[in-house]
Amino acid sequence: MVQFLFDMDGTVTARETLPMIAAHYGLLDEVEELTRKAVSGEVPFDECFVHRVEKLGHLPVDEVRWLVEGTPLHTRVADFIAHHKGQCAIVTSNLDCWCGGLLEHLDCRAHCSTARVRDNHVAGVEDVLRKAAVVGSYKASGHRVVYIGDGYNDLEAMRCADVAIAVGFLPGTPAAGLAAVTDHVFDDELALCHCLEGLVETC
């Protein structure tokens, strides 16, 4: 059976969540440049991610979870997931404690990075998700994997997938280098979803 794995930020959500959190609390200048470098691959993603968490970890986890839960979605992508949720999963490096509410709303399987939470604050990152490892586990279970993403940290997962799709819904995406390893590139939700529906039928 085909399994669709979606990156979350910028692919399913219509905003990058960490800069959105930072902007809400007046910390955007401290986080935005790190996010740009992470998405473009200028700096190793894990390093940038941990630094961004360090800058935001003092914020109340319950408030951040509420804020992320209200992140606007790419509606056609979200509708595709809703109609095929048994074949869809979210694969995000974002922290489980921050994006859990949004993932519950999407109501499909999800794989996240994990954090240590103490007194309603992030005390540290326990594990940064390896997206390629998630792809590998689904393939080992006999699935044909379609991976959809937009950032440089999706590159290795795309290399491992049976079908790799890059999207450019947000400015600066898809990251440089993704087109070389992808089967399709879309900057339009409707075109992407038509392609995905075709893969449901043919895979």
| DSSP secondary structure letter of residue 180 | G
Provide the pLDDT for residue 30: 78
User: From first to last of its 203 residues, what are the pLDDT tens digits of the chain?
Assistant: 899 999 999 999 999 998 899 999 998 987 888 777 777 778 787 888 888 888 899 999 999 999 999 999 999 999 999 999 999 999 999 999 999 999 999 999 999 999 999 999 999 999 999 999 999 999 999 999 999 999 989 999 999 999 999 999 999 899 888 989 999 999 999 999 999 999 997 65
Provide the pLDDT for residue 176: 86
Contact at 8 Å (CB) between 123 and 117?
yes
Provide the residue range defining the domain that includes 167: 2-202
CATH number (domain holding residue 80) = 3.40.50.1000
Provide the pLDDT for residue 33: 81
Burial 8-45 (b: 16+ CB within 10 A, else e): bbbbbbbebbbbbbbeebebbeebbebbebbbebebeb
pTM: 0.94
How many domains does the structure of the chain reveal?
Answer: 1
Provide the pLDDT for residue 202: 64
Own/partner pairs for 126-130, CB < 8 Å, 24+ apart?
Answer: 128/45, 128/46, 128/49, 128/50, 128/93, 129/91, 129/92, 129/93
Residue 172 burial (CB < 10 Å; 0-12/13-18/19+)? middle
Provide the pLDDT for residue 203: 54
H/E segment holding residue 155: helix 155-160
